[in-house]
Chains A and B, each alone.
Chain A
C-alpha cells in the first residue's frame, strides 16, 4: 500500500527520474533482531498476521517448533528453528525471525519489469505495490533471501512491508510491538547498528560467545533488518541465512551490460539496415522480375 507521507527513492521498471526524489531527508529505518534473546514464542508471527489482516493458513509440522517450512504469500514473518549441536556435544536452539531484509540494493526491485510494482522509500523500506504488479515473478529470481511469494489466485507477489502504514504514522512495526523479550528493536539504522554492536561486544566479552557479531551484509548494500548472532561466522546455521548474499550475477548481467549491449545492437541493427538500403537499395527492381505480358509471348 502506498504511503503518501513517505517519499520514494527507487522505482522498479521506471523510465526517467523518480518524482519527488531528494525533496526530503528521512532517517533510514532499521529492525534489529537479537537472536540471542529470542525465545521462539511466535508472538511476532501472530502480530504480523493480525496487523496485516492476513488469513490464517494451515501449518506444516516438520519435527520442529517451526510453524511451516518457509514464508508464504500470506505469511510474511516466520521464526526458523534449528536445534544445533555444538562442538562440545551440547545442544542449542538457534531461532531466527525471518522476513524481508529490506536491502539497500534490492534484487527484487532490480529484476522487476513493471513500472512502480516495487518501490523503495527514502527511509529504506522496500514495498511491493500489488496494483502495479504483473505477476511475472522476476522478483523471486532477484531476491537472495527467498522472500517474495506468489499468490497463484491473484497472480501477485507479496512480502513483509515493514509495516509501512505504521511506520509512516510514527509507530514501530507490529512484530516489534509484540515481542515480549525485547529481542526486537526498531529505530534509525545508525542507532540500531550501534545497539547491535554493543550487544555483540557484550556477548563476546561476557557470555562466552567469541564469534558473536552483527549481520548486516554488504553484498546487498546493507539491510534494513540486521541480526545479532551468537556466531556471526556461521550465519547458515540460522535457517540458511546466506553468508555473502548478493543479487545473482546473472540478474546483474541481464539488467546491466546485456541490456545496454542488446539495446545498442538492436538500434544499431535498425540503423545499419536502413543505411544499407540507402547505399545499395533493393537487389532488383520489380520491373526486372516482370514476365512479358501474355500478348507479347510467342
Chain B
C-alpha cells in the first residue's frame, strides 16, 4: 500500500495534478497517534512541572489525568506500532539519506534545490519515525512500571528508579521531535498538513521535496502532467 495506489478509491480520491501521498489508513493512524500524543504531552507536562500542573486541572483534574494517561499511552503505542507496520520498510536509511544529513545546513536555510534527492521520506522524516518508535518503546516499558509502582516489590525498587528517569528523558526526546515535526508540517513545508488530512499533494510538492520519489512515480505510472 503505497502512494501509487490507484486514484479513484472512495477514500483516497486524488484531484487532477495531485499525487496520493497518504492513504486513508495512513492518515487515520497518524491522527490516532497525534491526538493521543497531544493528550499525553499535556498531562505529562502537568506532572513534569508544578508550573504546568494547571494543565491537568483543566483536563478534568489531576487524579483523572493520572488514571487516563496510561490508557491513552496504550492507544498511542498501538498507533506507532501501526505506523511501524505501515512504514518501517520504507524508512531504511540509504546512501542518499546520509548525504542528506551532511547537507542539512541547506535544508535549514530553505535551499532545497541543493539537497540530495529525497525519496518518499527524507532522512529527517526517517529520523523522526525511528525516534518515535525507539522512545515509544522506552516510554511503554518505563510507563508500565510507573502505572503500578506499588506492585513492584521492594527488592526490585531499582526498576522504579530507572523508570522515572527513562520515562522523563524519553518524553523530552519525543517533545523535541514533536516540535520540529509540527513546525515542519504546519509552518515550514506548505502543503504537508493538507496531505495528511486530505491525502494528496500537488505534483510540484513532490518534485520539490521528494525528487527521488517523483522520479519513481514518473517512471512507473507516469502521473498526468
Name the segment of B28-36, B76-84, B181-189, B211-219 touching the other chain.
B181-189
Interface presence of B10 (CB below 8 A)? no
15 more contacts with CB within 8 A, not counting A111-B164, A138-B149, A254-B165, are: A70-B154, A134-B63, A135-B63, A150-B150, A152-B150, A251-B161, A251-B164, A273-B180, A277-B183, A277-B188, A283-B188, A283-B189, A283-B190, A285-B190, A289-B208
CB distance from A270 to the nearest CB of B (A): 7
CA A133 to CA B56, docked complex, whole Å: 13
What residues of B have a CB within 8 angstroms of the CB of A266 in the complex?
172, 175, 179
What residues of A have a CB within 8 angstroms of the CB of B204 in the complex?
288-289, 291
Contact with B along A106-143 (1 / 0, CB 8 A): 00000101110000000000000000011111101100
Asked if A282 contacts B188 (CB within 8 A), the reply is yes
CA A128 to CA B175, docked complex, whole Å: 32
Residues of B participating in the A interface, judged by any CB pair closer than 8 Å: 16-18, 46-51, 53, 56, 62-63, 65-67, 108-110, 112, 146, 148-150, 154, 157, 160-165, 168-169, 172, 175-176, 179-180, 183, 187-191, 202-205, 208-209
Max count, chain B CB within 10 A of own CB: residue among A13, A277, A285 = A13
What residues of B have a CB within 8 angstroms of the CB of A91 in the complex?
none
Asked if B172 contacts A262 (CB within 8 A), the reply is yes
CA A254 to CA B142, docked complex, whole Å: 14
What residues of B have a CB within 8 angstroms of the CB of A115 in the complex?
50, 53
What residues of A have a CB within 8 angstroms of the CB of B189 in the complex?
282-284
Asked if A283 contacts B110 (CB within 8 A), the reply is yes
7 contacts between A and B (CB under 8 A): A113-B48, A259-B48, A265-B176, A277-B188, A283-B112, A284-B208, A288-B204
Contacting residue for A134 out of B48, B62, B205, CB 8 A: B62
CB distance from A143 to the nearest CB of B (A): 9
Interface presence of A218 (CB below 8 A)? no
**Given A150-B150, A277-B187, A291-B202, are A254 and B108 neighbors across the interface (CB < 8 Å)?**
no
CB distance from A253 to the nearest CB of B (A): 6
Asked if B203 contacts A114 (CB within 8 A), the reply is no
Chain B interface, >50% SS class = helix
Interface presence of A171 (CB below 8 A)? no
CA A9 to CA B128, docked complex, whole Å: 44
Asked if A14 contacts B50 (CB within 8 A), the reply is yes
CB distance from B48 to the nearest CB of A (A): 7
Q: Can you list the 3 inter-chain pairs with the closest CB atoms, starting with the nearest?
A: A150-B150, A137-B149, A291-B17
**Which residue in chain B gives the minimum CB-CB distance to A117?**
B62
What residues of A have a CB within 8 angstroms of the CB of B168 in the complex?
254, 258, 262
What residues of B have a CB within 8 angstroms of the CB of A253 in the complex?
165
**Which residue in chain A gives the minimum CB-CB distance to B224?**
A297
Interface presence of A26 (CB below 8 A)? no
Asked if B66 contacts A250 (CB within 8 A), the reply is no
CA A277 to CA B182, docked complex, whole Å: 13
Asked if A137 contacts B161 (CB within 8 A), the reply is no
**Which residue in chain B gives the minimum CB-CB distance to A290?**
B202
Asked if B187 contacts A294 (CB within 8 A), the reply is no
**Which residue in chain B gives the minimum CB-CB distance to A145?**
B154
**Given A13-B53, A113-B48, A250-B164, are A286 and B176 neighbors across the interface (CB < 8 Å)?**
no
Interface presence of A276 (CB below 8 A)? yes
CA A294 to CA B17, docked complex, whole Å: 10
What residues of B have a CB within 8 angstroms of the CB of A168 in the complex?
none
Interface presence of A37 (CB below 8 A)? no
Contacting residue for A273 out of B67, B150, B175, B179, CB 8 A: B179
What residues of B have a CB within 8 angstroms of the CB of A282 in the complex?
187-190
Asked if B49 contacts A263 (CB within 8 A), the reply is yes
**Which residue in chain B gives the minimum CB-CB distance to A139?**
B149
Which residues of A138-173 have CB atoms within 8 Å of chain B's CB atoms? Answer: 138, 140-141, 146, 149-150, 152, 155
